[in-house]
């Protein structure tokens, strides 16, 4: 099993830019929102838009509803990214 987190690459492509100092392609690392964070936000948006208020799962009853929603959002994002990698 991999120990690295899935989806750490940027969610959106960034166009290459020219670096005026060496007239080459900019080699700075990409920044911005990760695919994992983007997927977790989408999952959380769905939970918040449900007609009834979100309730924590039984195994997460020790968490506040906000903490439970965040935890479940990231679990859903991780599963989405795992399945994306299997295709």
**Per-domain residue ranges for the chain?**
33-86
Which pLDDT belongs to residue 22? Answer: 55
> Could you list the pLDDT tens digit for every one of the 87 residues in the chain?
455 667 777 776 666 665 555 555 555 555 678 888 899 999 999 888 887 777 888 999 999 989 999 999 999 999 999 998 864
Task: From residue 18, give the alpha-carbon distance in Å to each of 9, 32, 39.
Answer: 21, 19, 30
Q: What is the pTM of this model?
A: 0.66
Distance in angstroms (rounded) separating the CA atoms of residues 68 and 76: 12
């Amino acid at each position: 099993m991999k120990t690295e987190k899935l989806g750490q690459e940027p969610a959106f492509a960034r166009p290459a830019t020219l670096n005026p100092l060496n007239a080459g392609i900019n080699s700075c690392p990409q920044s911005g929102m990760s695919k994992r964070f983007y997927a977790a936000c989408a999952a959380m948006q769905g939970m918040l838009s449900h007609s009834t208020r979100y309730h924590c799962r039984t195994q997460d009853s020790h968490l506040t509803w906000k903490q439970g929603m965040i935890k479940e959002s990231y679990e859903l994002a991780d599963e989405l990214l795992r399945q994306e990698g299997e295709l």
